[in-house]
Chain A
Amino acid sequence: MTPVQRTVTKTLFALMMMVGFTIALVPLYDVFCNITGLNGKSASQPRAIVSGEIDESRYVTVQFITRTGSGLPWRLTALDRQVRVHPGQAYEVRFAFVNHGKTASRGRAVPSVSPSEASLHLRKITCFCFQEQRLEAGERLELPLMFQLARDLPENVHSVTLAYTLYPAADDQLSSSVIALTQGGGA
């Protein structure tokens, strides 16, 4: 090999490393978000309630925000817009899905927790966001969310916002299983 060929080989190797690094960044980002709880990614996985004492001395305000993404004629309403909770205690709140469209359709609510340091301490036992919903035309569906704020929630957090955005889900079985797979990293 001539020196030029050797340099070019090394450069191409570095180039391939960077291509691999770029591809790896996508799963790494998910891992990073899961560990740190950023972007509310961890909010879409069910987790067990931590039993133990309830911190009666402390109140945290939990607010619920709902939004509908484009392309889905649905409405999602939080029946309890705001609750005051004690860390450690489990609560149930209810949400109503309404399909205003003329046909049956499928949708999925994607959660996000803010501030992000709270997302690791927000534990959900049941949530409609764990799977897709299918609503007939005009159907109304009430679904529960059962959650607990763990006692180790940082002291400086006084209010937590849980936002749900509704997105259309593709109407065939194949794509929903694909979605379940891509959610696998976070679910």
Chain B
Amino acid sequence: MAPQSPPKATLEHSQSASGSATADGFQEEHHYRSGPLRWLLTTNHKEIGSLYLIFSLAMFMIGGAMALVIRLELFQPGLQMIQPEFFNQMTTMHGLIMVFGAVMPGFVGLANWMIPLQIGAPDMALPRLNNFSFWLLPIAFTLLLSTLLMPGGGPNFGWTFYAPLSTTYAPPSTTFFIFALHMAGISSILGAINIIATILNLRAPGMRLMDMTLFVWTWLITAFLLIAVMPVLAGVITMMLLDINFGTSFFNAAGGGDPVLFQHLFWFFGHPEVYIMILPAFGIVSVIIPTFARKRLFGYASMVYATAAIAILSFLVWAHHMFAVGLPLVAELFFMYTTLLIAVPTGVKVFNWITTLFRGEITFETPMLFALAFVVLFTIGGFSGLMLAIAPADFQYHDTYFVVAHFHYVLVPGAVFSIMAAVYYWLPKWTGHYPDERLGRWHFWLSVIGVNLLFFPMHFAGLAGMPRRIPDYALQFADFNMASSIGGFLFGFSQLLFIWVVVKCVRGGVKAPANAWDGATDLEWTVPSPAPLHTFETPPDLRDFKFH
């Protein structure tokens, strides 16, 4: 469909739009800095948001290239392209870069851009800290990537870096890996503090917590999760550092330590971490679906409570990653039931999205296509998660490609598709132009076909017993792997189309009005497109604003 013309809603709130137009003039006089230092020193939430998103896209392409190296080697059985040592570095770095470099900064970038616009704030609460938390990331990931060139190679112990594989048997570069992860963690913590301070203090007058969009809500809860678990990650990698360099024995059985302790600590961080990567996605989808269904979100309050319930439950399920480690029966049962319990609030969410669509006036623009694909494909990932949650069955699935299929379904057509949906949805606000709808659709369909061809056969390979993290495999898995590899290359190369759409949209295209999507009612659509550098310098008065 062609982009919609600006609806009446825009005109109703034109007073806040004109308020920001004067703000625009203000920044021309005082704040504009030219030259290369502009991006290094910027404290503007929109510029920092763009930096985060560009960084995330760069990491997505690097991590994706590593995934293609993996898929190339697995195209056929036998060792053709690379050696097992390098293969292990590729699987490890692919995971680390996608989790800490692509998905998390992608969501933080969206938060930076959109949270102030959605709550009517002039900027983030701590703009200079914001600049610092971004610039930690390029340094951290340059250091992490440089370990690939060091003697002994980069990290090769899997993204979960289980001790003692990551301590006693690790390459010498592991200390740099720890340092890089510390920096990425500090960046996340500072970002989370900033987001909490912004949401709790800078909402425009008249906006209560229960008036906020779901995107802001999910990010508020995610920020609390970050505050709670990033210190655990920092602690566990510090213990690794001490074990490697200072002769302690936290995870070394010879000195009285316990390798299983590592797994408990890691997954106490790691399970909330996977919700850190999906809760903002829930928020994005909960904003996009009502827009294109032209209905209010069904069950707003239940969405908020479900998000909070998922966040709380995420602290009680960590040992479901460790069913095969030798837990007592009571613990297996406890973690099995708490994990199954998470399906309840998640089911509430899926139910609400579908009910929002019910009898809606749905149109299928690119952001909506990605959001709908999210609902369907994330749910598939959720169901395979339920299968894995059943402790006796998990002994069969553990460490097979079934697990790989599961978490890629929730992370790629889950988290990554939601970021793409968000980019297509908000590009008109960011650039003032609509993204090319025809190319966007090509990108969507190639991605959705590629992603399913890539990950669906992995379920079967895993059920047939193919282990994770192996560069070579038994002949009976050859067909599944060839299909996966073809899907992988299709998905990987269609992302070049995504970059092309974004670049094209930045350079020009159909002009977007302030309210770019018919049916969009949130606050960001009341400011002009492209959003001027400074918006809401005078807070909008929202006492008569119709929320959701």
Q: Does B344 contact A (CB under 8 A)?
A: no
Q: Does A15 contact B (CB under 8 A)?
A: yes
Q: Does A46 contact B (CB under 8 A)?
A: no
- A32 CB to nearest B CB, Å: 10
- B387 CB to nearest A CB, Å: 27
Q: Does B505 contact A (CB under 8 A)?
A: no
- Interface residue tally on A, bucketed by range: 35 or more
* A179 and B193 contact, Cβ closer than 8 Å, known pairs A3-B201, A7-B200, A14-B228: no
Closest to A5 in B: B197
Q: Do B258 and A182 have beta carbons less than 8 Å apart? A: no
- Interface residue tally on B, bucketed by range: 35 or more
Of residues 84 through 98 on chain B, the ones whose CB sits less than 8 Å from some CB of chain A are: none
> Which of B23-31, B260-268, B366-374, B444-452 lies at the interface?
B260-268
Q: Do B254 and A169 have beta carbons less than 8 Å apart? A: yes
* A22 and B231 contact, Cβ closer than 8 Å, known pairs A11-B193, A182-B256, A183-B256: yes
Q: Does A64 contact B (CB under 8 A)?
A: no
- A75 CB to nearest B CB, Å: 17
Closest to A72 in B: B254
Of residues 150 through 187 on chain A, the ones whose CB sits less than 8 Å from some CB of chain B are: 165, 167-170, 175, 178-179, 182-183, 185-186
Q: Do A15 and B326 have beta carbons less than 8 Å apart? A: no
Closest to B325 in A: A39
User: Which residues from chain B contact A178 at a C-beta distance below 8 Å?
Assistant: 247, 255
Of residues 208 through 257 on chain B, the ones whose CB sits less than 8 Å from some CB of chain A are: 227-229, 231-232, 234-236, 239, 247, 249-250, 253-257
Q: Does B377 contact A (CB under 8 A)?
A: no
Q: Does A25 contact B (CB under 8 A)?
A: yes
Q: Does B389 contact A (CB under 8 A)?
A: no
Q: Do B253 and A4 have beta carbons less than 8 Å apart? A: no
Q: Does A149 contact B (CB under 8 A)?
A: no
Q: Do A18 and B228 have beta carbons less than 8 Å apart? A: yes
- A24 CB to nearest B CB, Å: 10
Q: Does B196 contact A (CB under 8 A)?
A: yes
B254 in complex: contacting residue of A23, A39, A114, A168, CB < 8 Å: A168
User: Which residues from chain A contact B264 at a C-beta distance below 8 Å?
Assistant: 25, 29
Q: Does A66 contact B (CB under 8 A)?
A: no
Q: Does B126 contact A (CB under 8 A)?
A: yes
Q: Does B189 contact A (CB under 8 A)?
A: yes
Q: Give bound CA distance, A167 to B257, whole Å.
A: 12
Q: Does A133 contact B (CB under 8 A)?
A: no
B249 in complex: contacting residue of A12, A182, A186, CB < 8 Å: A182
* A38 and B247 contact, Cβ closer than 8 Å, known pairs A22-B231, A179-B256, A183-B256: no
Q: Do A36 and B328 have beta carbons less than 8 Å apart? A: yes
Closest to B194 in A: A8
Q: Give bound CA distance, A16 to B189, whole Å.
A: 12
Q: Give bound CA distance, A22 to B239, whole Å.
A: 11
Closest to B202 in A: A4
Of residues 109 through 158 on chain B, the ones whose CB sits less than 8 Å from some CB of chain A are: 125-126
Closest to B223 in A: A11
User: Which residues from chain B contact A179 at a C-beta distance below 8 Å?
Assistant: 249, 255-256
B197 in complex: contacting residue of A8, A69, A108, A168, CB < 8 Å: A8
- B200 CB to nearest A CB, Å: 5
Closest to B264 in A: A29
- B270 CB to nearest A CB, Å: 14
User: Which residues from chain A contact B236 at a C-beta distance below 8 Å?
Assistant: 22
User: Which residues from chain B contact A11 at a C-beta distance below 8 Å?
Assistant: 192-193, 196-197, 227
Q: Do B328 and A116 have beta carbons less than 8 Å apart? A: yes
Q: Give bound CA distance, A175 to B247, whole Å.
A: 9
User: Which residues from chain B contact A116 at a C-beta distance below 8 Å?
Assistant: 326, 328
User: Which residues from chain B contact A23 at a C-beta distance below 8 Å?
Assistant: 235
Q: Does A43 contact B (CB under 8 A)?
A: no
- B244 CB to nearest A CB, Å: 15
Q: Does A50 contact B (CB under 8 A)?
A: no
Closest A-B pairs by Cβ, 4 of them:
A167-B254, A22-B235, A18-B231, A182-B256
Binding site for A on B (CB under 8 A): 125-126, 189, 192-193, 196-197, 200-202, 227-229, 231-232, 234-236, 239, 247, 249-250, 253-258, 260-261, 264-265, 268, 326, 328
10 contacts between A and B (CB under 8 A): A11-B192, A11-B197, A14-B228, A15-B193, A18-B229, A19-B235, A25-B268, A69-B254, A114-B326, A186-B256
Binding site for B on A (CB under 8 A): 3-4, 7-8, 11-12, 14-15, 18-19, 21-23, 25-26, 29, 33, 36, 38-39, 41, 69, 108, 110, 114-117, 165, 167-170, 175, 178-179, 182-183, 185-186
